[in-house]
Structure 1
Amino acid sequence: MNLKRLARGPAIWIVLAVLILWLGASSFMTTGIQRIDTSDGLALLAGDTVEQARIVDGQQRVDLVLTEPFEDKGERVQFYYVEPQGPTVVAALEGADLPGGYDSEVPQTSWWVSILSLVIPFVIILGLFWFFMSRMQGGGSRVMQFGKSRAKLVSKEKPQVTFADVAGVDEAVEELQEIKEFLADPAKFQAVGAKIPKGVLLYGQPGTGKTLLARAVAGEAGVPFYSISGSDFVEMF
């Protein structure tokens, strides 16, 4: 696996964003406290095994600290209630015999959690946009490269092919002599007002030497030789 390519991709940033979001959410989750039914919580408040209680406003939750374990839930339990049950729960807390009393808590969201809640969705959307744009520009889809030339330059340092290397197509070589002269010295023809041809179509069965002829023209004229596949040519135009 290419680690550098992975680091440049959006996947790692999406994973980091989700991890930060999970850590931020987990820091506000109550740990080590077992949940019980609302009826069991009210029954505990009516008994004498509750040492301390806390009601969390906004979450409709009551946390209880017991003097002895409740069933298999341990000594720290919590229960939730629906909004219409609020007065009943408050009355049960006020009427309970709690050695440690009870208090109420209004949870405050920290500033960095507020910032994360705004930044993380933006980062995820940006990462997905980056991912899809990368896919569109890659080999799977060439939408973003439509119309761009895919011609490949053959290095001039390689051995040059000339007309002497071509045999059996003398008529084609004779026709291409003028094209070679155009490419070798275009200024001479432009000076007399001649219009340089835009191209020549070589056709024939595979293996008859069309590409070799094109290389020979470039070699004789001393100009670069470019190659492009037929499918890329059709796609470009």
Structure 2
Amino acid sequence: MKRRRAPVSGGQVASALFDPVRKSARWARRDKLSLFLLVASVVLTFLFFSLLGSIGPDSPGRQVPLSQLTSLVRGGDVTRATLLDQDARVVVDATNGEQLWAAYPQSDAQTANLVRTLSLSGTTVNVDQQSGKPARQILVQFLLPILLLVCLFALFTRAGQDGGAGAFAGFSKFTGKGRKKGKGAPGQTTFANVAGAGESVAELREIRDYLADPTKYERVGARAPKGV
């Protein structure tokens, strides 16, 4: 004997309608890693471009040839000189208040010769080792790009596993799930399951019969169905 399906109450219908909200909450918990990867990619990109300018040579003042700067030193027109070790540049303060700089070859002999010339002229010489610059160069040139590529690779891999919908694939999944269900799919609430559907169907049939043969109702003295 075929069991008759119990009518679905209004509360059950409302629960079925709002079930995607619970699915959204489950997706939010499940997809935290994708959100973290997305935020990490943005932060790493910002750090990369922020630190990019700090690894290049940056000297104050006006650039002049090294020969001209050496002539100024020998002529006593320089009060102080600073050697930038990592940038291979020498920055000098001229007696007229102007700052000048020149690049010098990175060889021990030439550097020693430059320092000797500065010392013999009575110029105050400082050496800036720029100790933090190599660490920044490694960070910007190697570590940040590698970390950024790893985050992007993981993010796009998860997007591919979710059908190409991206980091928010879970949201599109639960919003489009109802459209993917076919007729009579398990767990689908149809009009036939709602209490009172039988009465509505009977009324529709009466209206159809009346419209097909109105004289039939007139002969028996019946009134037109409700809604006609």
Higher relative contact order (CA 8 A, sep 6+): 2
Q: Which has the higher helix share?
A: 2
What is the TM-score with the length of structure 2 in the denominator?
A: 0.47
What is the TM-score with the length of structure 1 in the denominator?
A: 0.45
